[in-house]
Amino acid sequence: MAVSDKPQQADLDRCVHCGLCLNACPTYRELRVEMDSPRGRIYQMVQVANGARVTDSYREHIDLCLACRACETACPSGVKYGRLVEAARAEIEQRTHRPLSERLLRRVVFNHILPSRAGLRIAALGMRFQQHVKLPGRLGELASLAPRVESAPFWPQIGRNFPAIGRKQHRIAFLSGCVANVFFARLNEATIRVLQRNGCEVAIPINQTCCGALHVHAGLREPARKLARRNIDAFLGGNFDAIITNAAGCGSTLKEYGELLDDPRADKFASLVKDVTEFLAAIDLDKNMGEIRETVTYQDSCHLAHGQKIRSAPRELLRRVPGLEIREMSMADSCCGSAGIYNILHTDMSLALLRKKMDAVNATGADRIVTANPGCMLQLRAGVDRWGRAQRVSHVVEVLDEAYSKML
């Protein structure tokens, strides 16, 4: 069932203003400003729903939200905060005009880069150039948060079918992402190897596209709907047991396509979507792994822990790797400050959160940080460069792939 493009009264009415979400909210913990807390943001949404103007101040408080959904986990009244903030941003998009420079930047990123292979290629060229140049001041700070372009992109694999190793037990489809095809090609390859190793025939449907998560988070619901329809057409005809993603941010939106589109096919699509850790933890995992003698700490991705309520699956998978010692950091499910392109748009807040995250990581003494979302990996790598102790940063499936590779 689709949800319309402004906060719905029934969702707003669920908030009883108890304030139990306040200390779960990273922006509130940082600023101690009620209007930058979940309760304060909901209060402002109620004012707008009752006829108040959409002001610049309202937009700034809603923009500064990470959409991490930690408040959803903390809320005893079941407030669907993620749905509210996405709808509030959609309403802001419809009712206000951003400055020209911001509109141009958003148009380029959301219309011409994320959903377009040609656009991503051009962006990758620019970023490859930037990797070899030391930029001054603020530009250099932003560049240090940008992803590294990997030398062979993943695109040539799109459209291919990878056979199961051993007896075929599952036929699954893999969503390779948009920017991940350029910046996380090795992670995508590792994901396919681990799935093959676990009895999966892996298809990568050729007509797939960007999932639209960043569009939804930015309030651009119509472009997101176009992308969702294209993915539904690309994946639903294949008679797959599951549609797998290795990006928690994408998975959260893919599982909510039914809220984006009023179309039973969207509900069917959403019911097939599984995060790769969720899928692997639920099957009879191949235990034939070599030892990795290391200590690791696991960072919950917001959109896995709070968005999809998946916390134990990645930890269970790590526990099955022989030799691996897991040390929990404090507040592992608190946002690292990545949040899509938040680290570029709100760099100061993002870095403040990252600094705290790295203090928690360093206190564990772990050799490696493991997470389940490419965006978090980028942010944590930037954290290691600034405040870390040379920890490696990996996705859960990369650790499994490494353990399997020791038994080849």
What residues make contact with ligand SF4 under the rule CB under 6 A?
15-21, 24-27, 38-39, 41-42, 65-71, 74-75, 77, 79, 81
Helix (H, G, I), strand (E, B), or coil: what is residue 106?
Answer: helix
- The rounded distance, in Å, linking the Cα atoms of 371 and 393 is 8
Nearer to ligand SF4, 75 or 369 (CB): 75
The token pair that represents 321 in the structure block: 């790797």
Q: Which residues contact 313 (CB under 8 A, 6 or more apart)?
A: 275, 277, 278, 280, 281, 282
36: its two tokens = 């930058």
Helix 264-272 vs helix 221-236: crossing angle, to nearest 10: 70
Q: Which is nearer to ligand SF4, 16 or 282 (CB)?
A: 16
Closer of 313 and 353 to ligand SF4 (Cβ): 353
Please list, in sequence order, all residues whose beta carbon lies within 8 angstroms of the beta carbon of residue 219, skipping any fewer than 6 positions away.
Answer: 86, 88, 89, 90, 91, 92, 93
Measured from the CB atom, is 18 or 139 closer to ligand SF4? 18
Query: Minimal distance in Å, beta carbon 309 to ligand SF4?
Result: 15
> Distance from CA of residue 136 to its chain's centroid?
29
Return the SS3 of 54: coil
242 close to 172: Cβ distance less than 8 angstroms: yes
Q: How many CA atoms lie within 13 A of 166 on its CB side?
A: 11
Rounded to whole angstroms, the Cα distance separating 357 from 198 reads 33
DSSP-assigned letters across all residues of 6-33: S--HHHHHT-----TTGGG-HHHHHH--
Cβ nearer to ligand SF4, comparing 71 with 332? 71
Provide, rounded to whole angstroms, the least separation between the CB of residue 307 and ligand SF4.
Answer: 10
CB 221 within 8 A of CB 250: no
CB of 333 to ligand SF4, least distance (A): 11
Question: Least distance in Å: CB of 254 to ligand SF4?
Answer: 19
- To ligand SF4, the closest distance from the beta carbon of 74 in angstroms equals 6
- Give the helix ranges, DSSP H, for 98-212: 100-107, 117-131, 137-145, 180-183, 185-197
Min CB(78)–ligand SF4 separation in Å: 8
CB 237 within 8 A of CB 207: no
Minimum gap (Å) between residue 382 Cβ and ligand SF4 = 19
Q: How far apart are CA 256 and CA 342, in angstroms?
A: 21
If the CB atoms of residues 73 and 130 are measured against ligand SF4, the closer one turns out to be 73
Which of 267, 399, 205 has the alpha carbon at shortest distance from 321?
Answer: 399
Residue 60 or 291: which CB sits closer to ligand SF4? Answer: 60
Cβ proximity to ligand SF4: between 37 and 209 the closer is 37
Nearer to ligand SF4, 217 or 221 (CB): 217
With residue 394 as reference, give the H or E element that holds it: strand 392-395
Least distance between ligand SF4 and beta carbon 274 (Å): 24
Q: Which residue, 234 or 305, has its beta carbon nearer to ligand SF4?
A: 305
